[in-house]
A and B are shown apart, each in its own frame.
Chain A
Amino acid sequence: MKRNLLGIRHLDPTDITYLIDQATDYKKLITKGKPVDSLTKHVIGMLFFENSTRTRTSFEQAAYYLGLRTANFAAQASSMAKGETLKDTILTLRYERLNGLVMRHRMSGAPTLAARFFGGPVLNAGDGQHEHPTQALADALTIIERKGKLEGLTVAIIGDVKHSRVARSNAWLLSKMGATVRFVGPRTLMPSHSGMLPGQVYYDLETGVADADVLMCLRLQKERMESGLLSSLGEYAKLYQINRDTVRFAKRDAMVMHPGPINRGIELDDAAADSEISSISSQVENGIFVRMAAFNFCFSETDNAPKPSKTSKGKSKA
């Protein structure tokens, strides 16, 4: 049964455990230079409507290690620039006999739409503000490597949660795996109503990170000032920066994470940024291994395969 990976919120804890375990196995094999079981020769379309060197390269590496071929599509050069609809683009890729699709798009829900028409697995590489499932899996792996587990940890996600797909995917994953999630930031950058998102909202940094095990700092985008949601970067830094002083509110051995690129002096001061740098290389590497696990999850049949992730209702409405 082929599966999509459209978001963490559709997954069960068993799915997530399976993916992380699989990624860990791949990591062991690859770092020791051993071959991995390759998937049947599939061709994966890489449909990136938003630029992304890091994520795209990561998926390509993952594909390479598994013996998958990739076919790249640059949105600007594509027929969509000539006005073709997304639906028609997806159908064309389907008829070109691509076996899978990795898709990044600036609109939330675009991969969900693609999955209705593609006829094969669709992996979400980041859609608007909705989800970035493989990023969350990579972050989870990094946390487990440092902390040994996810269950029982308190993770504070700090910054522009409202506009962050990374925050949403992480919140789903961490809470499904038994961690406590907190969202910390100014009210205008917090989700308007938190009822359906698994995170408790804090406007005050000190209470928000009190005794936290992990501090996940989101990158602040300058557009937020332009659209009137924030007064200034300076004000934000005064209230929410993780630095030598504020990091003390968390646990002594708290780990600081940042998806990068870091705005030094805003989300993190130099000291925190430098101490965080050391974990960046493993975060990036882990991205490759979880993406291998994601391909595996979507394409292979396994004995103890978790039940298929729930995506669209499957009815094609007119």
Chain B
Amino acid sequence: MKTLLKNGRILDPSQELDIVGSLVIEDDQIVEYGNEVDESDADETYDCTGLWITPGLVDPHVHLREPGHEYKETIITGTQAAAAGGFTTICCMPNTDPPLDNPALIDFILDRAASPEAGGVFVAPIGAVTRGMEGKVLADFAALKKAGVVAVSDEDSPIQNAAVMSNAMEYCVQLDLPVMAHCEDKSLTEGGSINEGAVSAMLGLKGMPRSAEEIAVMRNCVLSLHTGCQLHIMRVSTWGAVEMIRQAKYLGAPVTCDVSPFHIAFTDEMVVDFDANFKMLPPLRTQVDVDILLQALNDGTIDCIASDHSPHASHEVQAPFEEAPFGMVGIESVLAVTLTYLTHTNVLTPLQTIDKLSTAPARILRLEAGTLKPGETPVAQVSVIDPNIKWTFDVNKTFSKGKNTPFHGMSLKGKSMLTFCGSEIYRDAYFDDSRYSIID
């Protein structure tokens, strides 16, 4: 079966490629692309005029909630949502119930992800650092790696004891396993639900000071520097954290980091009416932080963008602010939010945009993804994006079970139109079917 994606703007950051051309997928593999491809004998053709053709997007931070929290999301619904978001490879976080500290659970996840009802995307699991994510005893990293994890993390139960983290990192260097860290000193944030600032003072909500994030960032960077363990810091939110990461990189520590779209779209001022759709971890910060995050994305200090897709049941979010859980769904909006807030504002070029959303996370986690080069991925992973389409985000039309998002009802510019993982796994409702022709 030969599929022709015709006449689009081909953007592949892995090759610094930005050209107008066509791409051919044959028998689930990318065979060629460029402005001189063999267009003959295509069984199906997609007219991609005005659209981008890019490597399938890669999200290093997704919560699939299974096992244990299936009422929020399942592997089936989560991977379907990922395909709809333009993603072909996602990493699922270990804070499930039970947490992913056991190889049998990894097998379970890979099995479910490969089932026919799932979204058809690759799932690369992230294992826990400690047993039960309790921060004390290390998990069996070698067994987890063998089962298929690509990195380890204790996610929102970050290890508070430096010795435990140091031992974990030393062990992980030996296994060549990156450690992904959510940075938070819990002694400073206990009971907090929002950024500590003018807004929290006004609302009478206990705040989570920026120092809590910065102290942990610094500690983890120091440990990375001295152990040589590859560290990926998740969801940077403060200007101070950015500066520390810049310094750590300068000193030669193997540190990378990501940012989540809500931290660049919103500040803590959005919380003025206690709407828990704006309750995030780390919390939404201030305009000064947003400005520095944008700069850091532009200059490369922030390596990539991760959705931190965190589905919750509606009844959990419609609760008093202190009680509500942290996080929003994001996998189906992250591309559009990035295009709207970063690409169309010229903070990122189109090539940089795809780098942040695909090539860079793939490179950081050594995933076979993020590139259009034939043979470098198990099957063709391609995303076709309309960068200019204006649309209104309607959470009721999403695949994810979770509907907790502050973006509902907002106008966005840019959307994923087609996703190919081997074959076509997603076609957007906005995709103009007259662009598609098939030969009987």
Chain A residues 141-199 with CB under 8 Å of chain B are 162-163, 165, 168, 191-197
The reply to whether A313 and B320 form a contact with Cβ atoms under 8 Å apart is no
The reply to whether A109 and B277 form a contact with Cβ atoms under 8 Å apart is no
Interface residue A24 (Cβ < 8 Å from any Cβ of B): no
Main secondary structure of the interface of A (DSSP, over half): loop
The reply to whether A109 and B198 form a contact with Cβ atoms under 8 Å apart is no
CA distance A86 to B315 in the complex (A): 10
- Nearest B-chain residue to A312, judged by Cβ: B273
The reply to whether B201 and A191 form a contact with Cβ atoms under 8 Å apart is yes
Query: Given A129-B204, A318-B403, do A112 and B274 touch, yes or no (CB 8 Å)?
Result: yes
Interface residue B218 (Cβ < 8 Å from any Cβ of A): no
Query: When the two chains form the complex, which single residue of A113, A165, A191 contacts B320, counting CB atoms closer than 8 Å?
Result: A113
CA distance A88 to B316 in the complex (A): 12
Query: When the two chains form the complex, which single residue of B196, B319, B406 contacts A193, counting CB atoms closer than 8 Å?
Result: B196
Contacts of A194 in B (CB 8 A): 198, 201
Residue interface mask B239-276, A partner, CB < 8 A = 1: 00000000000000000000000000000000001110
Residue interface mask A85-118, B partner, CB < 8 A = 1: 1111000000000000000010111101100110
Shortest distance from the beta carbon of B167 to any chain A beta carbon, whole Å: 30
Interface residue B165 (Cβ < 8 Å from any Cβ of A): no
Query: Given A311-B273, A315-B409, do A113 and B318 touch, yes or no (CB 8 Å)?
Result: yes
Contacts of A87 in B (CB 8 A): 315, 318-319
Interface residue A9 (Cβ < 8 Å from any Cβ of B): yes
CA distance A130 to B272 in the complex (A): 11
Chain B residues 355-405 with CB under 8 Å of chain A are 395-396, 403-404
Q: A interface, how many residues as a size bin?
A: 35 or more
Query: Given A193-B201, A313-B275, do A110 and B320 touch, yes or no (CB 8 Å)?
Result: yes
Shortest distance from the beta carbon of A208 to any chain B beta carbon, whole Å: 18
Contacts of A311 in B (CB 8 A): 273
Chain B residues 296-316 with CB under 8 Å of chain A are 314-315
The reply to whether A109 and B320 form a contact with Cβ atoms under 8 Å apart is yes
Contacts of A112 in B (CB 8 A): 273-274
The reply to whether A168 and B204 form a contact with Cβ atoms under 8 Å apart is yes
Main secondary structure of the interface of B (DSSP, over half): loop
The reply to whether B202 and A9 form a contact with Cβ atoms under 8 Å apart is yes
CA distance A79 to B197 in the complex (A): 36
Contacts of B277 in A (CB 8 A): 317
Interface residue B205 (Cβ < 8 Å from any Cβ of A): yes
Interface size on B, residues (CB 8 A): 32
CA distance A193 to B203 in the complex (A): 12
Contacts of B315 in A (CB 8 A): 85, 87-88
The reply to whether B320 and A107 form a contact with Cβ atoms under 8 Å apart is yes
Interface residue A128 (Cβ < 8 Å from any Cβ of B): yes
Chain B residues 174-209 with CB under 8 Å of chain A are 196-205, 207, 209
The reply to whether A108 and B322 form a contact with Cβ atoms under 8 Å apart is yes
The reply to whether A109 and B201 form a contact with Cβ atoms under 8 Å apart is no
Interface residue A131 (Cβ < 8 Å from any Cβ of B): yes
Shortest distance from the beta carbon of A256 to any chain B beta carbon, whole Å: 25
Query: Given A87-B315, A196-B199, do A313 and B322 touch, yes or no (CB 8 Å)?
Result: no
Interface residue B408 (Cβ < 8 Å from any Cβ of A): yes
Residue interface mask A306-318, B partner, CB < 8 A = 1: 0000011101011
Contacts of B273 in A (CB 8 A): 109, 112, 311-313
Query: When the two chains form the complex, which single residue of A110, A131, A192 contacts B201, counting CB atoms closer than 8 Å?
Result: A192
CA distance A50 to B322 in the complex (A): 16
A-B contact pairs, 6 of them (CB 8 A): A87-B318, A88-B315, A109-B320, A113-B321, A127-B204, A317-B406
Which B residues fall within an 8 A CB radius of A? 196-205, 207, 209, 273-275, 277, 314-315, 317-323, 395-396, 403-404, 406, 408-409
New contact pairs (13) apart from A113-B318, A168-B202, CB-CB < 8 Å = A86-B319, A86-B320, A113-B321, A130-B205, A131-B204, A162-B201, A168-B204, A192-B200, A193-B198, A195-B201, A196-B198, A197-B202, A318-B395
